Structure 1
Amino acid sequence: MSHENLPTIDSPSKRLLEVADFHRLADVPPEIEWFANLESFCTRRAYQKALQDFMRFTGISRPEEFRQITRAHLIAFRDELRKRDLSGPTIRNRLAALSSLFEYLCEQNAVTHNPVKGVKRPSVESYEGKSPALGDHQARALLDAPDSLSLKGKRDRAILAILLYHALRRDELCKLKVKDIQQERRGVLHMKVSGKGGKTRYLPIHPQVSGLLHDYLEAAGHGEEDTGPLFRSLSNNRNKGSVQKGITPDAVYKMVQAYSEKLGCRIGAHSLRATAATNALDHQADIAKVQEWLGHANISTTRIYDHRKMRPEDSPTFKVSY
């Protein structure tokens, strides 16, 4: 193969990347490269915390020192996390972050194997009941809690409706652009959702949600700004002409918590996702379709929300007949 096989450009001298930057990027350690390639903000934040914890424990100060890590170091780290009484999921998350890093180092031939493999992790807990689902009357009361006349109230009603009727994650809701709720497929208005792992799914928009979104956008006045954030912060967008900021996952969590407290039940945003999933399954929705609807990679995660097996009337006890 010769240089003649390479594609040509009109003017090689007009390069956008300076020579010094070209060589600097070529020398970036794979450990830094791996972290920079994590797209999800939530994943980056969780993995950063895990790596900082591990680096403090081992005394690592330079990226290259990760290549000296053995399984013995990781077992000692796991045992240290247990001594701190951290939960099983937290310990699994710490080890998962390190495993992801070492898998990348293996791909780059920086290490010969992934030392995290073989390290015993805490067993996966059943998450039933961890995010309590609301009853039908509670869900209706929550939807009615925001003021129906103010801009904030209209926005919050639309947010609560999307969480309760479409079971979005907080991060997914905050990523929504105006154009994402204007996707027509087979004559039905759909919502384009950017989920975990860069996966996209399209959800038919519930009629009640559609009405609340229309009321909100009409009051907010940004319904024509296709590429702008759908749900916007009211406190950070007071200067006209500035780049409009979308609402944050933390703000959504606090909002749900505040409205639920008024109803006498303090819950987080994930409980609304649990409510939607449980309600759909209780009304005989196909569990495989619910899995796709929720954006779950594994159907076992979806089964967490399936409480039909717990209903006394469905017990085999009442099927016995002599």
Structure 2
Amino acid sequence: MTDLITTGKRALTSIEFQGLADVPPEVEWFANLGNKETRRAYENALKDFMNFTGIQHPEEFRMVTRAHMIAWRDDLVNRSLSGMSVRHRLAALSSLFEYLCEKNTVTHNPVKGVKRPAVESYEGKTPALGDHQARQLLEAPDSTTIKGKRDRAILATLLYHALRRDELCRLKIKDFKQERRGVPHLKVSGKGGKTRYVPLHPAASGLIHEYLDAAEHGLEDTGSLFRSVSNNRIQGSQKAITPDAVYKIVRAYSEKLGFKIGAHSLRATAATNALDHQADIAKVQEWLGHANIATTRIYDHRKTRPEDSPTFKVSY
């Protein structure tokens, strides 16, 4: 150990070392958030709170009281934010203060005890497609072009595997070539850095193969599976399609078919379809990558089907 200290090459200068030692825990907490989407949501919440309270330096968070949190909550409600949006913003601040408590920087979490606004039922918030609509959507892209083949493969991957947009965008060629117990699987990098393996549906597999054959990047194992059409024309370009582009693809095709939806509806559709066909909800939870089964129930749209209403059981 002594030899390492005296002879090892130092990556940090003494000034850089001291600078990192002096980083406030508030900044340290934010830097330690691994998920890009979480960082963005928490950053928005923090900026909003700092604008409301006039906080300009990280250390000022240590003076925040429950009264500040209640006043901010009331301001969010008065701005007509949804109950869930308010809860998410309070959760971001609560995460920060829990970290500060662990570091003994503050004595308690001022968000605790602040009443959260009620949340409406999620039911119907993310519409699920009917089977005939899902089939129409899969057939909508022009299968004679590279873009059309790619779009069909993307829609099939979403509809048959219930992936989130960012999960689809993170897929590499090698993730499409996984095999477990002799069955082809997708390796999915989910929220919080969690990895799950999802059996590859034969219909989606066929469409992905068609796309890769046309795009000619199927041998680039470390490259992105789905790319913009312009990147497919550039040899060796491995830049992935963006979540925003995926949203626009789903939006454009669905709008032409008369039911304007976002990409998340395809996740809801896949989950609902699986549950409709007697899939075990615990298995669907694992399939979707949910930490809590209560979240999975949000995607269970079976109770909203008009044909199952007691109305149609009445007979005179």
TM-score of Structure 1 vs Structure 2, range by shorter chain:
over 0.9
Is 1:276 the counterpart of 2:295? The answer is no
Q: Give the Å deviation of 1:226.
A: 1.3
* Matching of residue 132 in structure 1 with residue 127 in structure 2: yes
Residue 35 of structure 2 corresponds to residue 44 of structure 1: no
**Contact in 2 for aligned 1:237/1:245 (Cα 8 Å):** no
Distance across 1 between alignment mates of 2:312 and 2:246: 44
1: CA distance between counterparts of 2:46 and 2:74? Answer: 16
Closer, same or farther: CA 173–11 of 1 in aligned 2, 3 Å: farther
Post-superposition Cα deviations, 1:74-110, rounded to whole Å, max 9, x if no partner, equal 0000000111111111111110111111111111111
Return closer, same or farther for 1:310/1:253 CA change in 2, 3 Å cut-off.
closer
Which of 148, 151, 156 aligns to 2:146? It is 151
- Counterpart of 1:183? 178
Aligned partner of residue 192 in structure 1, secondary structure: strand
Letter in 2 for 1:252: V
When residues 299 and 213 of structure 1 are mapped into structure 2, their CA distance, relative to the original with a 3 A threshold, is: same
Cross-structure match for 2:297: 303
- 2-side partners of 1:309 and 1:265: how far apart? 21
Give 1:229 deviation, angstroms.
Answer: 1.1
1:203 is displaced (CA, Å) by: 0.4
C-alpha displacement of 1:227: 1.3
CA shift in 2, pair 1:307/1:13, >3 Å: closer
Q: Aligned equivalents of 2:186 and 2:144: distance in 1?
A: 25
In the TM superposition, what whole-angstrom CA distance separates every residue of 1:177-198 from its partner, at most 9, and x where no partner exists? 1111111100001101111122
3-state SS in 2 of match to 1:23 = helix
Please state how far the C-alpha of 1:124 moved relative to its aligned partner: 3.0
Q: Does 1:12 align with 2:11?
A: no
Paired residue secondary structure (1:95): helix
1:107 alignment partner in structure 2: 102
Normalising by structure 1, report the TM-score: 0.92
Q: Deviations over 1:31-71 (max 9, x none)?
A: 11111111111111111111100000000000110111000
Aligned mates of 2:302, 2:256 — CA distance in 1: 30
Aligned partner (choices 62, 79, 83) of residue 84 of structure 1: 79
Instruction: State the one-letter code of the partner of 1:193.
Output: V
Give the deviation of 1:316 after TM superposition: 8.2
The residue type equivalent to 2:168 in the other structure is L
- Aligned residue among 87, 92, 95 for 1:97: 92
Change (3 A) 1:112 1:273: same
Alignment of 1:209-224 (within 5 A): 209-224=204-219
Query: Matches of 1:256 and 1:78 in 2, distance apart?
Result: 35
Task: Compute the displacement of 1:30 (Å).
Answer: 0.9
Tell me the secondary structure at the aligned position of residue 196 of structure 2. strand
Tell me the TM-score normalized by structure 2. 0.93
TM superposition shift of 1:311: 5.5
- The aligned runs of 1:162-181 (5 Å cut-off) are 162-181=157-176
The 8 Å contact of residues 147 and 229 in structure 2, kept in 1 or not, is answered as yes
Instruction: Return 164-173 or 16-25, whichever deviates more.
Output: 16-25
Alpha-carbon displacement from aligned partner over 1:105-144 (angstroms, at most 9, x marks no partner): 1111111111111111112321111111111110000001
In the TM superposition, what are the counterparts of 1:311-322 in structure 2 within 5 Å? none
Q: 2-side partners of 1:146 and 1:7: how far apart?
A: 65
Report deviation, 1:317. Answer: 9.5
Report SS of the residue matched to 1:115. coil
Q: Residues of 2 paired with 1:114 and 1:190: CA distance?
A: 43
Match of 2:286 in 1: 292
In the other structure, the counterpart of 1:263 is 257
State the AA in 2 paired with 1:85. S
Instruction: Tell me the SS of whatever aligns to 2:197.
Output: strand
Given the superposition, is the C-alpha separation of residues 281 and 8 from structure 1 closer, same or farther in structure 2, using an over 3 Å criterion?
farther
Give the stretch that moved more between structures: 57-66 or 299-308.
299-308
Where in structure 2 are the equivalents of 1:194-213 lying within 5 Å? Answer: 194-213=189-208
* Distance in 2 (alpha carbons) for counterparts of 1:168 and 1:7: 51
Q: Distance in 2 between matches of 1:317 and 1:138?
A: 25
- Please, which moves more after superposition, 28-37 or 13-22? 13-22
Q: Which whole-Å deviations, capped at 9, do the CAs of 1:231-262 have from their partners, x for residues lacking one?
A: 11224666545x53111111111110001001
